[in-house]
Amino acid sequence: MRKQQGFTLVELAIVTVIIGLLMTMLIPVASGQLEQQRRKETINKIAVIDQAIVAFVMTNRRLPCPADGTVPSGTLGAGIEVRDGNGDCGTQANGVLPWISLGLSEADATDGYYSRFTYRVPPDGVTGLTRNGALDAANCDPAGGAAATITANARSCNSACDRSSAANRAATCTSPINILSGRGLRVIDEGGNSVNDPSAASPTGAAYVLISPMAEGGGGYTSESPRVS
């Protein structure tokens, strides 16, 4: 009978080296694909959230306040906006997307890296967007030129808007742009340049800001506890 031969130690060592080299080459490829998948998932979720916020504004005529990101999942208050009696949101130091208030699941409000989306809105006052009626444009007219009506709760269009003629619309009606002028958040880029600025000559403040902590997770909140790096 022919004697069977096994692998020698040298042959095994060569095979091990080859496998190691292959793993070294494949790991970056797999990591890059995973990163791409997570980014795509995060972008898709942001699109869903934007639609949910638009639906909330159409129903409630205001923006929702952030939820407290330090509240663990399944605990009373998790995913529910924190809003005072005036409709203001305070400092929002721990603010995350209020998924329950928006009719979303916590999974919808969690990015591809397992962090809850950070969410910020203008904090308070008549320049804010979270008070009752703060985004009520029912009496607005795009052709209007009248100033917005400012009350204790919010800024609104002139209820005495007269649409009987172009001159009357210009004199008595408020355009949607006028009730948004000077409102919103100032957003700057890494170089300190304003991307959105409600105090600029042509004000373009951001109504809200949604942030994914991404892979670094810095300042982000998970379903159990804050994850800060």
By C-alpha distance, which of 74, 132, 98, 68 is closest to 210?
Answer: 98
For residues 126 and 87, the answer to whether their CB atoms sit within 8 Å is no
**CA 57 from centroid of its chain's CA atoms:** 14
22 Cβ contact partners less than 8 Å away, ≥ 6 residues apart: none
pTM of this prediction?
Answer: 0.78
Instruction: Print pLDDT tens along the chain (229 aa).
Output: 555 555 566 666 676 767 767 677 666 655 677 888 888 999 999 999 999 999 999 999 999 999 999 999 989 999 999 999 888 998 888 999 999 999 999 999 999 988 999 999 987 776 788 988 888 888 888 888 888 877 766 777 888 888 889 999 889 888 888 888 778 888 888 888 888 887 766 667 888 999 998 767 667 888 776 554 4
Three-class HEC string of 41-53 = HHHHHHHHHHHHH
